C-alpha cells in the first residue's frame, strides 16, 4: 500500500492547532478563562471574576442602562442578578427589575465580546463604553475603531457575525476559539491596519 502524504501546510496547521489545544487545556484553570467560560448556555461571555462572583458581565457594567439612559454605567455590587450562571450588576433597583422581567431583551449580543471580532470568528475584547443598539439589540465593540469598521457594512457584518457566532463561537471555549481563528483565519479576514485604512478612506469620502 502506498502511504498517504500529508501536505506540509496541512501538517503545520494540525500541529499548530494541537499546540493551541494543549495551551487551552493548560490555561483553562486561570481566572480569566474560568470567568469567560461558565458552565452555562451563555458561554463564552465577556466577564471577569469580581468580589466573589465568578462571572461578572462586562466588568460590572449595567446592561439595562444602555437602553434606559442611553449610556454605559457601572452597576453596584449589591444590586445584582444571576442569569444562567452569569452575574449582572445594575445601577438601580429599577434596572434590576427590568432585567429580571425580561433578561434576554438586555443581554449584549455575542456574549458581550466585540461584535467586529465575531465577524472573524474571534471572541476577544469588548469595551463597555463602546457600543451601539441596532434593531433593539445591544452590541459591544473593542474600541471606536472596531465600531467604525463594523459600521462600514452593518447588514453584511451582522450576517457574518451571526453566522460565526452560531456556527463556531457559541458554546466554545473563548481561548481555544480565539487562538484557532488567529491562525486559521476566515476568508474575509482583515488586519487592524487594513480596517483602519478602510475606515479612514470612508471618512475621507464623506462631504
Is 173 domain-assigned? yes
Compute the distance between CA of residue 79 and CA of residue 17 in angstroms, rounded to an integer.
42
Average pLDDT over residues 193-203: 94
Confidence label for 206 from pLDDT (cuts 50, 70 and 90)? confident
Q: How many domains does the chain have?
A: 2
Per-residue pLDDT for 73 more than 90? Answer: yes
Same domain membership, residue 206 and residue 132 = yes
Residue ending a domain, among 102, 131, 151, is 102
Among 21-25, 32-36, 72-76, 95-99, the range scoring the smallest mean pLDDT is 21-25
Q: Which three cell numbers stand for residue 136?
A: 433593539
Q: What is the largest CA-CA distance in the chain?
A: 72
Confidence category of residue 102, pLDDT binned at 50, 70, 90: very high
As a whole number of angstroms, the distance between CA 81 and CA 124 comes to 24
Question: Residue 19: what pLDDT?
Answer: 58
- Count of C-beta atoms within a 10 Å radius of residue 13: 14
Q: Does the pLDDT at position 192 exceed 60?
A: yes
Range of the structural domain that residue 43 is part of: 29-102
The predicted pLDDT at position 5 comes to 43
Whether 121 and 173 map to the same domain: the answer is yes
Q: Note if the pTM is more than 0.95.
A: no
> Domain ends where: 71, 102, 133?
102
Residue with more model confidence, 86 or 25:
86
Cβ neighbours around 46 below 10 Å, total: 24
Amino acid at each position: 500500500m502506498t502511504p498517504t502524504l500529508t501536505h506540509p501546510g496541512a501538517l503545520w496547521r494540525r500541529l499548530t492547532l494541537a499546540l493551541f489545544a494543549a495551551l487551552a487545556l493548560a490555561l483553562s484553570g486561570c481566572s480569566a478563562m474560568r470567568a469567560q467560560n461558565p458552565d452555562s448556555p451563555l458561554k463564552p461571555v465577556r466577564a471577569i471574576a469580581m468580589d466573589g462572583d465568578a462571572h461578572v458581565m462586562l466588568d460590572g457594567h449595567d446592561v439595562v442602562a444602555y437602553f434606559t439612559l442611553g449610556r454605559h454605567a457601572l452597576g453596584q455590587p449589591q444590586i445584582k442578578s444571576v442569569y444562567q450562571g452569569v452575574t449582572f450588576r445594575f445601577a438601580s433597583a429599577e434596572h434590576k427589575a427590568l432585567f429580571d422581567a425580561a433578561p434576554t431583551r438586555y443581554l449584549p449580543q455575542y456574549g458581550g465580546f466585540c461584535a467586529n471580532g465575531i465577524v472573524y470568528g474571534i471572541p476577544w475584547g469588548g469595551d463597555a463604553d463602546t457600543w451601539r443598539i441596532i434593531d433593539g439589540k445591544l452590541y459591544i465593540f473593542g474600541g471606536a475603531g472596531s465600531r467604525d469598521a463594523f459600521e462600514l457594512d452593518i447588514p453584511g457584518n451582522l450576517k457574518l457575525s451571526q453566522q460565526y457566532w452560531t456556527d463556531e463561537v457559541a458554546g466554545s471555549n473563548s481561548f481555544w476559539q480565539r487562538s484557532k481563528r488567529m491562525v486559521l483565519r476566515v476568508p474575509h479576514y482583515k488586519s487592524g491596519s487594513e480596517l483602519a485604512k478602510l475606515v479612514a478612506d470612508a471618512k475621507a469620502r464623506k462631504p
